[in-house]
């Protein structure tokens, strides 16, 4: 049998070779209907206006995996503009994480955010979100945030689960690293998008966590830094430690009730301020921005 890392590479390669699906408005429409009926804070119409790309892969229950690439001033952005990958809903019962990412989708075209390239995945675990009741784990009962291909997975993930969590079914890492389609797809986004920063939104621990080498954020709105450490197979471990791509984990205070709009806004503004300090906006190629490049008359 192939070692797990080789299996993951093969899977990643097959995904990479697969054509990118064109958004099917019918499919997206019913996906948005499901989303709108599940979340108080996001309407089906607000979902439908997003220009989502649909992955070729389907989840175990046949749900869509969708993402949206946003570069507001694409023609003005320099090629080395920093890239931000946002992930919501990796745990399906953390409804506010999905609503928060949709809120951000409505703010990304505003000042402070337009200098970055964004890839936004609002619902990383649709099977968990759309289950009744929603579940943290996916349809196979696996915690996607313990299933990433981290170097310590083979040695530690299952023993950590059995010994430290008492085989808590909410934290099942799966039988093998990246055994789940959602995990493989998320890893593929990290591999292909090459983000400079990953922001993963969760609830309800009411804190800010960080894995990376840049100066740590200390406060986003009411959320204060409280570093929890990393787990075998977690996104913080996979991206922040293994791939050396910083990961900010936002833990909202409640999984079903959104923070006030002013608290959401304060969190967003502080996050952008941290990004501008630590992921400086790249200068455009000379002559393309802020300089009159009209041809000089003969």
Q: Which residues are near Zn ion by CB under 5 A?
A: 91, 94, 202
Burial of residue 159 (number of CB atoms within 10 Å: 0-12, 13-18, 19+) = exposed
* Least CB distance to Zn ion at residue 94 (A): 5
Q: Which residues of 1-12 are buried (b: 16+ CB within 10 A; e: fewer)?
A: eeeeeebbeebb
* Least CB distance to Zn ion at residue 19 (A): 32
* Least CB distance to Zn ion at residue 96 (A): 11
Q: Which is nearer to Zn ion, 83 or 91 (CB)?
A: 91
* Least CB distance to Zn ion at residue 43 (A): 24
* Least CB distance to Zn ion at residue 222 (A): 18
Shortest CA distance to 210 belongs to which of 192, 235, 175?
A: 235
Angle between helices 261-278 and 95-105 (to 10 degrees): 70
* Least CB distance to Zn ion at residue 79 (A): 34
Q: Which is nearer to Zn ion, 94 or 182 (CB)?
A: 94
Neighbours of 143 (CB within 10 A): 28
* Least CB distance to Zn ion at residue 218 (A): 21
- The residues, any chain, with a CB within 8 Å of residue 151's CB and separated by 6 or more, are 242
Cα separation, 71 vs 216, whole angstroms: 26
Q: Which is nearer to Zn ion, 104 or 116 (CB)?
A: 104
Shortest CA distance to 18 belongs to which of 48, 50, 58?
A: 58
Q: Which is nearer to Zn ion, 231 or 268 (CB)?
A: 231
Q: Which is nearer to Zn ion, 171 or 202 (CB)?
A: 202
Are 112 and 276 within 8 A, CB to CB? yes
Which residue's Cβ lies closest to Zn ion?
202
Shortest CA distance to 21 belongs to which of 56, 68, 67, 51?
A: 56
Shortest CA distance to 221 belongs to which of 265, 279, 254, 253?
A: 265
What's the distance, Cα to Cα, between the start and end of the chain in Å? 71
Q: Which is nearer to Zn ion, 77 or 157 (CB)?
A: 157
Q: Which is nearer to Zn ion, 94 or 115 (CB)?
A: 94
């Amino acid at each position: 049998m192939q070692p797990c890392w080789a299996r993951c590479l093969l899977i990643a390669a097959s995904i990479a070779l697969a054509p990118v699906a064109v958004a099917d408005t019918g499919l997206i429409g019913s996906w948005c209907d499901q989303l709108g009926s599940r979340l108080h804070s996001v309407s089906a119409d607000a979902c439908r206006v997003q220009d989502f790309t649909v992955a070729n892969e389907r989840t175990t229950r046949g749900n869509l995996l969708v993402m949206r690439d946003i570069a507001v001033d694409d023609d003005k952005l320099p090629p080395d503009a920093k890239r931000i990958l946002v992930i919501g809903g990796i745990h399906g019962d953390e409804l506010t994480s999905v609503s928060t990412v949709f809120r951000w989708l409505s703010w990304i075209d505003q000042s402070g955010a337009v200098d970055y390239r964004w890839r936004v995945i609002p619902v990383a675990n649709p099977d968990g979100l759309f289950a009744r009741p929603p579940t943290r784990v996916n349809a196979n009962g696996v915690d996607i945030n313990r299933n990433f291909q981290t170097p310590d997975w083979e040695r530690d993930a299952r023993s950590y689960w059995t010994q430290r969590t008492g085989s808590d079914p909410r934290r099942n890492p799966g039988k093998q690293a990246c055994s789940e389609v959602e995990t493989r797809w998320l890893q593929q986004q990290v591999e292909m998008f090459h983000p400079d920063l990953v922001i993963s939104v969760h609830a309800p621990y009411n804190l800010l966590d960080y894995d990376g080498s840049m100066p740590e954020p200390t406060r986003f709105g009411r959320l204060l830094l409280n570093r929890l450490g990393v787990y075998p197979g977690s996104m913080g471990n996979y991206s922040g430690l293994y791939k050396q791509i910083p990961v900010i984990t936002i833990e909202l205070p409640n999984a079903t009730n959104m923070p006030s709009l002013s608290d959401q806004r304060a969190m967003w503004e502080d996050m952008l301020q941290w990004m501008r300090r630590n992921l400086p906006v790249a200068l455009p190629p000379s002559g393309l921005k802020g300089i009159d490049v009209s041809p000089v008359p003969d």
